[in-house]
Amino acid sequence: MVFLVVLVLAAAFLGYIYLKWHFSVFKRLAIPGPEPSIISGNLMYILRKGHLQAMVTWGKKYGRVFGYFEGWSPVIAVSDPDILREILVKDFNNYRSRKPFPLAPRKALGLFLENGDQWKRSRTSLTPAFSSGKLRHMFATINNSVDHLVANTEHKCEKEETYDAYSLFQSLTLDVIGRCAFGLQTNAQTDEDDDFLKNIRFLFDGLSKTCIQPLVMLMPFLSYFVFALKNIVFLFGMNPVVWLKNQMKDVVKIRKEIGYDNVNTDLVQLMVFPNADGKSRRKIRPMTEREVVAQSMTFLLAGYETTSAVLAFLTHVLATNDGVQDRLCEEIDETFKGKEVTYEKVNNMPYFDMVLDEVCRLYPTASLVVTRKADKTRKYAGYTFPSGMSIQANVWSLHRDEEFWENAEEFNAERFSPENKEKIVPYSFLPFGAGPRMCIGQRFAILEIKIAISRILQNFTFTKTNETEDSLTIIARGAVVPRDGVNLRVHRRHSI
């Protein structure tokens, strides 16, 4: 009995010593940061403040490079442009992996979370889906989906009611990504009970409320149990991820039955039949069903959440900045002259580009997803980044750093005028990341945003009401989004 007690005490002591050593890694590296608990790291502060707000607070206190613990896992946060250039671009081969995501299935990772050669193969296969030719081909489909957005906006205008623009944009972006990427005929804009819309909203609402992710961050080994239980949870109708995957499996099955002759040249077709056009110099191996489903889920969720958030932030800016909205309306009138929006003209709107860049600076929706993991140890600006260390680009703090952006909290589209854009410090503006792993769908998202806003502003203007927040409340649930939506009204334009 005495021996057992001694053994338990010795194990407890050794465990305590190990925990102290593990949670002192940043002290050993001379990297500043918040003091971690030897039980939960800095997780409790993150849960209390929110991940984004915690990063902003620590950035102000500890500077452009600091270390913190996502539960058990150490992370170095960086908002120094020179260091980010090394990590994201110049030394990319040492940072081809993203930092692990707590709830990412290990056997079904999409492009966003794939690493190494698997990521390179997938990126090579999927990049052609976003070429200029493919975007031109998708234009009609996007424009057709925006027809429903304009009709819904017309309805809100006639009722003279305050509404949540973010909600309308979520329905739009789901229809667009579903139709353009997968040939899915979703009806999110005409049916509030659309199964895809309900399941995706349920999924993202769950991400902001679940206690599972913090537990996995605290004890990473729990992820194995979470994934083992996912199908059991689905039997009780509680797992939207499994439902969505099953829908994508049906799409893949149908495409394989149709074969090479399918007229669709979307993402699914490229993944199932990558060599159908015969133009590739080297044959690309078709993806397995599991790979296709994983990639599809990545694009479906990312295309829905991030683009709708940017549209919502942009709409809020227009409703609260009359001068900006008036000037943008003038450019739209001059560009289209009351006629239909076209692919060529929508891509030639310099003031729109300035406004959109400034919206993406103030509200970078990808603030918490530009991450990397070091393969080998490196030193930058006197800091040591050990092998295996997770790196978090602190994009929100970078975009609001007064050294790089004068009056950083204020909206000022002139920062991105042709004469001022050249003065921007390289890698101080990273709304879509940078380097080989920057967002593959950037041009697609921008095209969708410009079509949607151009067509609305041809007929309506946004105005704020008593329910419109002057300063939006932000939450991060993967992407950075407006917590309470964007509540405003629209009024018909009388002269176009």
Mean pLDDT of 221-235: 46
Q: Judge whether 29 lies within some domain.
A: no
Q: Judge whether 52 lies within some domain.
A: no
Q: Judge whether 178 lies within some domain.
A: yes
Give CA–CA dist 34/68, Å, rounded.
6
Mean pLDDT of 216-241: 51
From residue 32, alpha-carbon distances to 63, 80, 377 in Å are 8, 14, 18
- Residue 214: is its pLDDT beyond 60? no
Q: What percent of the chain has pLDDT over 90?
A: 50
Interval 190-203: pLDDT, tens: 888 888 887 777 77
Answer for the pair 204, 305: CB distance below 8 angstroms, yes or no: yes
All residues at 6 or more sequence positions from 404 whose CB lies less than 8 Å from its CB, including other chains = 81, 398, 424, 425, 428
Answer for the pair 327, 335: CB distance below 8 angstroms, yes or no: no
At residue 290, the pLDDT reads: 78
Question: Lowest-confidence range among 6-10, 223-227, 258-262, 342-346?
Answer: 223-227
- Residue 365: is its pLDDT beyond 60? yes
At residue 229, the pLDDT reads: 46
118 or 153, greater pLDDT: 153
Interval 281-292: pLDDT, tens: 456 677 777 777
At residue 364 the predicted structure's pLDDT band, cuts being 50, 70 and 90, is very high
Query: How many domains does one find in the chain?
Result: 1
319 or 288, greater pLDDT: 319
At residue 241, the pLDDT reads: 73
CATH number at residue 93: 1.10.630.10
Q: Judge whether 55 lies within some domain.
A: no
- Residue 227: is its pLDDT beyond 80? no
Token code pair at residue 82:
């020179």
At residue 238, the pLDDT reads: 54
Mean pLDDT of 382-388: 94
At residue 195, the pLDDT reads: 81
What is the pTM (predicted TM-score) of this model? Answer: 0.89
At residue 114, the pLDDT reads: 80
Residue range of the domain that includes 259: 72-492
Mean pLDDT of 326-335: 96
Token code pair at residue 131:
């070429």
Question: Lowest-confidence range among 134-143, 149-158, 391-400?
Answer: 134-143
Sign of CA dihedral 191, 478, 370, 118: negative
Mean pLDDT of the chain, nearest integer: 85
Q: Nearest CA to 172 among 348, 364, 308?
A: 308
Q: Judge whether 24 lies within some domain.
A: no
Which amino acid type is present at position 482? P
At residue 236 the predicted structure's pLDDT band, cuts being 50, 70 and 90, is very low
